Chain A
Amino acid sequence: MALKYESQVRPPLVVGGKDYHQVTEDIVRPIEAQPSRLWWIGFLISVALLLFGVYSVYREVVYGTGQWNLHKTVGWGWDITNFVWWVGIGHAGTLISAILLLFRQGWRTGVNRAAEAMTIFAVMCAGQFPIWHMGRVWMAFFVLPYPNTRGPLWVNFNSPLLWDVFAISTYFTVSLLFWYTGLIPDLATVRDRAKLKWRKYMYGILSFGWTGSTKHWQRHESLALVLAGLSTPLVLSVHTVVSFDFATSVIPGWHTTIFPPYFVAGAIFSGFAMVQTLLLVTRKVLSLEEYITIEHIEVMNKVIVLTGSIVGIAYLTELFVAWYGQNPYEMWAFMENRANPFSPYGWSYWLMMSCNVLSPQIFWFRKMRRNITVTFFMSVIVNIGMWFERFVIIVTSLYRDYLPSSWATYYTPTIWEIGFYLGTFGLFFTCYFLFSKFFPVIAIAEIKHILKRSGDTYKENMDVVEKKAVDEVYEEAHAAHH
């Protein structure tokens, strides 16, 4: 019981005087109710976007990557920008569920389930881009090391692109397992409440016959802890490896050692912004304001201002090192192609700077952190900024290469490149809408677990007990001293 001591200055994480049954009722209600009109509208828009994406990809597969405006020298354009952007968004979920579990942050319980789901969907979207970018997608399995009739000719294990294959697929698998093992007890809760036959049937299958026995809970806890321990370095490794795709090359603008930490910070930054966007809507629509409280929103805004500032320092460090290193190519890439506002893509650099570094600074003010409208607006701004960060890194480093005669072409995407991107939004939100309808968006068992410690009605009583315990320890120590 004393494993998790919570400071008395912490405000309650669950308000509204809930008891265990009320928690179940509140969280399972959206699953048992008919979907609202708003849900259908959102869902159908997402499916429409998804279908447009499918058609865009179909064109790319049939006619080749020429359907996109990629060219010499911009061989990576919107596709890889979107890939890195989605992977980055996919970092918040595991950070919340794994790293914050290890740090014993009680507030994670309100948001971890939805954030993990978001992670999985974001990684699914991210994976689309490198796969379809291959062009001849029917040969995508060539990236796997399997015995083949070409020698066997193996993949190049020294290449960061192959590390990426391993990193992303491992990340996806582990996040999925982590998410699903956490879901099993909650699905059993839905199953045992179910009145409808099909619901009992479906959730019976999904919940794997969970009973809630103490022995199983003991193993479940141990499993969650070790998976968290494994996911913590994993989540840091994934964006590190993504940054290696750039950093191990010799392109000026990419060839920098700062990339791994800078990418990881940026990933957490954009991931939290996406969590805010989704949860602000989810808590409102599913009336879960008593579980995802303003306190949760405020802590996440603190993470946003911290990581945004780390990203800002990384931007400035890059500029400084470009100047300090006195490599003319590096200087050119940073000072002319990026930081010069009058160069062809200078606008994108300054858009990135203002969205990612300047605007989050308003979160130094408590009033702003606790303002839902500002938070929602900022969460969108941050993700626009983080998209432009990847765009700046990729396109401004490529569009003027070593041969000035090939500089003339200004890279703009075609409708099918944009369609592909919109299609991943469709995929992401289709999945999210289905998730919010059929799965408990808040970890029911975990909320019950912290209820006596962080629920508003219990917390007052607990404070008295804890204060007494602290006093006793103090007196004992005092007595021993004399």
Chain B
Amino acid sequence: MALKKFVVGVFDDEHNLFNAVRKVRKSGYRLHEVYTPFPLHGLDREMGLRDTSIHTAGFIYGLTGTSLAFGFMTWIFTKDWPLNIGGKPHFALPAWIPIMFEFTVLLSAVGMVLTFCYVCQLAPFVKKHHFHLRSTDDKFVMVLDVSSGNSESEASDFLSGLGASEVNVQVAETGWWLGTYDREQKLGLSREPSH
């Protein structure tokens, strides 16, 4: 975890946001992140974020589920304990389709959710710095990283010019830490940013 200095611009509406993101990227400021109360389609592209591959992970988990279910049932019914059920074939593939399907879905869903939680670093008792409390309500919060040289005041003016209704400077942890939200636990806020 590193302490960094940020300039935070708060936008009241998403209309300005797309335009602002475009201008920030052209200007050469380092766009740390944009926090929104709901998903804005296309904002990820505008910010130049790579597409997520979480669906690929889901596909791999699903395939694992299918093969595990298939392999396990085949091994049990043809090798480990071939059970004679009314003289039907031991290798009864059509009868296994329901379980293979369910297991595919199960592994894919559970795997994807766990992966999602891992890559987004989400878990109970995980705490992260919040730049603006209303970013989960109705504000759209754009955060510029100014720890590497950019002037704070310049960046603040720049954000105001883009239509931010409120601009401030914050020094914050970029990672997460264990904590609860009922107390102040911002680690090392008093320290100066370390470059």
Residues of A at the B interface (CB closer than 8 Å) are 1, 3, 19-21, 24, 145, 151-154, 156-158, 160, 162-163, 166-167, 169-170, 173-174, 177-178, 181, 184-185, 188-189, 191-194, 197-198, 200-201, 203-206, 208-223, 225-227, 230-231, 233-234, 237, 241, 244, 445-446, 448-449
Which single member of B37, B55, B105 contacts A20 (CB below 8 Å)?
Answer: B37
- Once A170-B103, A174-B106, A208-B124 are accepted as A-B contacts, the answer to whether A215 and B81 lie under 8 Å apart by CB is no
Residues of B within 8 A of A220 (CB): 39, 116, 120
Which single member of A1, A20, A163, A214 contacts B34 (CB below 8 Å)?
Answer: A214
Contact A214 B47 (CB under 8 A): yes
Which single member of B52, B81, B95 contacts A218 (CB below 8 Å)?
Answer: B52
Closest to B45 in A: A218
Which single member of B36, B54, B99, B123 contacts A162 (CB below 8 Å)?
Answer: B99
Contact B101 A237 (CB under 8 A): yes
> Is residue B189 within 8 Å, beta carbon to beta carbon, of the partner chain?
no
Of B2-10, B70-78, B145-153, B158-166, which binds chain A? B70-78
Which single member of B42, B138, B176 contacts A209 (CB below 8 Å)?
Answer: B176
- Interface of chain A, main secondary structure: helix
Closest to B41 in A: A3
Nearest chain A CB to B188 CB, angstrom units:
18
- Interchain CA distance A233-B105 in the complex, whole Å: 9
- Once A219-B119, A220-B39, A230-B108 are accepted as A-B contacts, the answer to whether A212 and B136 lie under 8 Å apart by CB is yes
Contact B98 A226 (CB under 8 A): no
Contact B103 A184 (CB under 8 A): no
Which single member of B35, B49, B55 contacts A226 (CB below 8 Å)?
Answer: B55
- Interchain CA distance A5-B62 in the complex, whole Å: 32
Contact B105 A163 (CB under 8 A): no
Residues of A within 8 A of B135 (CB): 192, 211-212
Residues of B within 8 A of A449 (CB): 38-39
List 4 A-B pairs, minimum CB-CB distance, nearest first: A204-B181, A20-B138, A209-B126, A208-B122
Contact B54 A226 (CB under 8 A): yes
- Interchain CA distance A154-B72 in the complex, whole Å: 11
Contact A200 B182 (CB under 8 A): yes
- Once A151-B81, A158-B95 are accepted as A-B contacts, the answer to whether A219 and B105 lie under 8 Å apart by CB is no
